[in-house]
């Protein structure tokens, strides 16, 4: 395929959309290198992301660009079909989230350095979606998210709470301080574990560096915020069995996860290469099949639109603090991180992906479950 053919084909694909090449709208693509066109057709979403990292094109509002690209369903048309279909077929049978592989995302992403996340997140260092229903700032939204989780779990003093994928310890610290519970948090990130232990010092909180499959003990409540995206379709059943075995008979489990509208075996190639190795978003049917016969779904809450606001707040913090962070990396990392945050924001805004909080019981609450409000 020649450059002129690739360019003409891309322009033809964009024609029904509001997106223009070298146009004046904030979502328009500004081309700096004409090799962009054949690269995108050859490499699809990977080529699109890498060419942005390389400075081959610009866009004033990447979030708006991706919102419009997704609404036009251009991703499916750009993929190199034979290569993609073969890879998708293989991934249905290859477990990329084995115990050995599960540590890769910790090393690649969460161990990038606590300085990065301290300068991007709220003061409690929540690296999951905030809850913006009644508030206007990131700090308030993350506080309300933690409070909502604790209320949904119906925490009572003296209970034992397991936090699977505890991150930097935000939920563990909040629950211990405000609900007088004992917490065990597990993570596969050494950097997260070290900071979580430091932040929870003096509280009844134990942070354990381990894979979820090695969890032992019984807990009154279990929460998992932003970790299930790393479990993988072939492991959903195992994950739910661990939750079932770890939960007391009258216990509750809250799963907070990004969700996909369709069942898929892998995330897009750019995301898995640069952001979350081996990650894949669960679907409704994937979660349902995983917990069937083990847990009863009591409540399913979707506030995916709130992740758009959360990501834009992280984007603002990252850029406002870049001067403090630039010594850690280079311009290519800066562009990569902005691409990650803004393309994700556009994806949530277009309702391409969702944010779910699901509450499960072990055998069904006799009086039913009533979702709390703030």
Looking at the fold, whether 144 and 57 belong to one and the same domain comes out as no
Tracing tokens 């232990």 back to the chain, one arrives at 197
CATH number at residue 198: 3.40.50.150
Judge whether 341 lies within some domain: yes
Burial of 81 (0-12, 13-18, 19+ CB in 10 A): exposed
Looking at the fold, whether 73 and 193 belong to one and the same domain comes out as no
Strands 182-187 and 205-209, sheet pairing: parallel
Per-residue pLDDT reduced to its tens digit, 81-133: 344 333 433 434 445 445 554 444 444 444 457 899 999 999 999 999 999 99
Per-residue pLDDT reduced to its tens digit, 64-83: 999 998 988 765 554 543 44
Q: Which of 13, 47, 79 is the last residue of a domain?
A: 79
Looking at the fold, whether 30 and 141 belong to one and the same domain comes out as no
- In terms of residue numbers, what domain contains 293? 99-361
Per-residue pLDDT reduced to its tens digit, 329-361: 899 999 999 999 999 999 999 999 999 999 999
CA 36 – CA 291 distance, rounded (Å): 44
Looking at the fold, whether 272 and 323 belong to one and the same domain comes out as yes
Judge whether 366 lies within some domain: no
Judge whether 167 lies within some domain: yes
Looking at the fold, whether 167 and 262 belong to one and the same domain comes out as yes
Looking at the fold, whether 291 and 249 belong to one and the same domain comes out as yes
**Closest C-alpha to 279, from 292, 266, 291:** 266
Q: Is 82 left (phi over 0), alpha (psi -120 to 50) or beta?
A: alpha
Judge whether 294 lies within some domain: yes
CA 261 – CA 283 distance, rounded (Å): 6
Looking at the fold, whether 123 and 165 belong to one and the same domain comes out as yes
Number of domains present in the structure of the chain: 2
DSSP-derived letter for residue 108 is I
Give me the mean pLDDT over the 140-154 stretch: 98
- Give the number of other CB atoms < 10 A from CB of residue 187: 26
Q: Which of 24, 46, 79 is the last residue of a domain?
A: 79
């Amino acid at each position: 395929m020649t450059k002129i053919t690739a360019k003409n084909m891309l322009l033809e694909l964009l024609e029904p959309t509001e997106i223009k090449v070298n146009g004046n709208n904030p979502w328009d693509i500004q081309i700096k290198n004409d090799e962009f066109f054949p690269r995108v057709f050859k490499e699809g979403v990977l080529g699109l992301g890498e060419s942005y990292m390389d400075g081959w094109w610009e866009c004033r509002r990447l979030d708006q660009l991706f919102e419009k690209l997704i609404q036009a369903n251009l991703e499916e048309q750009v993929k190199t079909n034979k290569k993609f279909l073969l890879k998708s077929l293989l991934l249905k049978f290859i477990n990329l989230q084995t115990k050995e592989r599960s540590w890769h995302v910790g090393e690649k992403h969460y161990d990038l350095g606590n300085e990065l996340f301290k300068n991007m997140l709220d003061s409690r260092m929540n690296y999951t979606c905030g809850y913006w229903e009644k508030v206007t700032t990131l700090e308030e939204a993350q506080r309300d998210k933690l409070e909502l989780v604790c209320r949904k779990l119906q925490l009572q003093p003296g209970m034992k709470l397991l936090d699977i994928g505890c991150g930097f310890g935000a939920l563990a610290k909040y629950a211990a301080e405000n609900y007088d519970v004992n917490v065990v948090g597990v993570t596969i990130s050494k950097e997260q574990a070290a900071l979580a232990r430091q932040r929870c010092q003096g509280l009844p909180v134990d942070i354990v560096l381990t894979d979820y499959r090695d969890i032992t003990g019984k807990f009154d409540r279990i929460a998992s915020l932003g970790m299930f995206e790393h479990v993988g379709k072939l492991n959903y059943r195992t994950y739910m069995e661990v939750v079932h075995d770890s939960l007391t008979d009258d216990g509750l489990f809250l799963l907070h996860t990004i969700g996909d509208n369709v069942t898929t075996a892998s995330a897009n190639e750019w995301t898995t290469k640069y952001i979350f190795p081996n990650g894949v978003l669960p679907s409704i049917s994937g979660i349902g099949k995983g917990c069937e016969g083990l847990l009863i779904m009591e409540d399913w809450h979707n506030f995916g639109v709130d992740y758009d606001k959360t990501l834009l707040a992280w984007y603002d913090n990252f850029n406002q603090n870049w001067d403090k962070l630039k010594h850690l990396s280079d311009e290519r990392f800066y562009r990569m991180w902005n691409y990650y945050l803004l393309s994700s924001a556009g994806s949530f805004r277009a309702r391409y992906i969702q944010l779910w909080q699901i509450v499960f019981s072990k055998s069904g609450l006799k009086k039913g479950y009533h979702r709390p409000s703030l």
